[in-house]
Amino acid sequence: MIHLERLKFWNFTKEYSLITIGDLITAIGVVAFLVPYNIAAGGASGLAIILHGLVPLIQIGVWMYIINGILILVAILILGIDFSFKTIYSTFLLSFFVDLFNNIFPIPVYNGGDLMLTTIFGSIITAFGMAIAFSQNGSTGGTDIVAKLFNRFFAIPLGQGVLLADVTIGVLSGFQYGINIGMYAILAIVLNGLSIDFLMRGMEMNKQLFIISAKNDEISDYIVKKMSHGVTYIPTVGAYTNEAYKMIMVVIKRREVAELLSVIKRIDPKAFVIVEDIDKTFGEGFSDISKL
């Protein structure tokens, strides 16, 4: 029981620490690269940049508090969405960091004047931070909620809803700051989305191995006892030899593949091994499906 409580505490600490780091990195990308050039790259931060241009007295971070607060309230009233504390924490922490870096403790900003560079680096940095937060089921709010409203009333798929909302913000920025800035904003939205998808795949991807060996018991014993992973035996029959085997099926982390292949090579150099990419894995030792 004590071990279980420690594990829960460690997971809680890890999740919220990574969400905090992700929001911190996202805020740096927004404040250091996007805000100085009014590049509204979608989301609550993009809309806040536009509204700040209309009402300069209200700072961007404050606008983000207002936008996310209204959207969450609307979602609860209309959709009845049960927001977890993690979602609320991540959403408003990002607003806090943007306000902090933009007004209270200003950070160095890119002032090279190259819109292409600031768009590229701003998009990649914010995507990196958002991917870290998303990997722990955090959320930056904003257009995620708008997409759910689109889905409810217009049956628009969530992915398309997010893109539609973000592109709309990019177009609005063109009206506010000029067509040139508007086009860079739309470019930033596309780069951000592609970068998040790429990074999320890298963070969540595991490896599935199918192993056929005359010494599968020794290999399974190592996987279970040394690597702390479960193993599944799949009965198989070789068509050429007509011999029955117990094929090993195991899912492991990417970084563990080299170790396991080295062990298999040492135990049975004649083993037949298939290694496949796995986008998502749920269960003990991996992501918790109950948190989806």
Query: pLDDT tens across 254-291, in order?
Result: 778 888 898 899 999 989 999 998 877 776 656 665 65
Looking at the fold, whether 197 and 79 belong to one and the same domain comes out as yes
- Using the 3D structure, point to which of 203, 218, 249 is the last residue of a domain: 203
Q: How many CB atoms lie within 10 A of CB 249?
A: 14
Beta bridge partners of 9: none
The CATH number assigned to the domain holding 284 equals 3.30.70.120
Q: Alpha-carbon Rg of the chain, whole angstroms?
A: 24
Looking at the fold, whether 209 and 188 belong to one and the same domain comes out as no
pLDDT bucket at 181, cuts 50 / 70 / 90? very high
How many independent structural domains does the chain possess? 2
Looking at the fold, whether 29 and 58 belong to one and the same domain comes out as yes
Helix 43-54 with 85-99: angle, nearest 10 deg: 40
Looking at the fold, whether 161 and 171 belong to one and the same domain comes out as yes
Looking at the fold, whether 18 and 70 belong to one and the same domain comes out as yes
- Using the 3D structure, point to which of 203, 233, 260 is the last residue of a domain: 203
Looking at the fold, whether 239 and 114 belong to one and the same domain comes out as no
User: What is the residue range of 279's domain?
Assistant: 205-291
Looking at the fold, whether 227 and 187 belong to one and the same domain comes out as no
pLDDT bucket at 26, cuts 50 / 70 / 90? very high
Mean pLDDT in residue range 228-250: 87
Looking at the fold, whether 53 and 192 belong to one and the same domain comes out as yes
What tokens does 133 get?
Answer: 């937060």
Mean pLDDT in residue range 68-94: 79
More confident residue, 101 or 80: 101
User: What pLDDT is stored for residue 77 in this prediction?
Assistant: 80
Class of residue 238 by CB neighbours under 10 A (exposed 0-12, middle 13-18, buried 19+): exposed
Is residue 38 scored above 90 in pLDDT?
yes
Distance, CA of 284 to CA of 9 (rounded, Å)? 16
User: What pLDDT is stored for residue 279 in this prediction?
Assistant: 74
Looking at the fold, whether 265 and 189 belong to one and the same domain comes out as no
- What is the pTM assigned to this prediction? 0.73
- Using the 3D structure, point to which of 146, 180, 203 is the last residue of a domain: 203
Looking at the fold, whether 199 and 213 belong to one and the same domain comes out as no
Is residue 105 scored above 70 in pLDDT?
yes
pLDDT in tens, 128-158: 998 888 777 677 767 777 777 777 777 777 6
**Angle CA 271–276–280, to nearest 5:** 140
Q: Please provide the average confidence, as pLDDT, over all residues in the chain.
A: 84
Looking at the fold, whether 235 and 128 belong to one and the same domain comes out as no
Looking at the fold, whether 88 and 35 belong to one and the same domain comes out as yes
Is residue 7 scored above 80 in pLDDT?
no
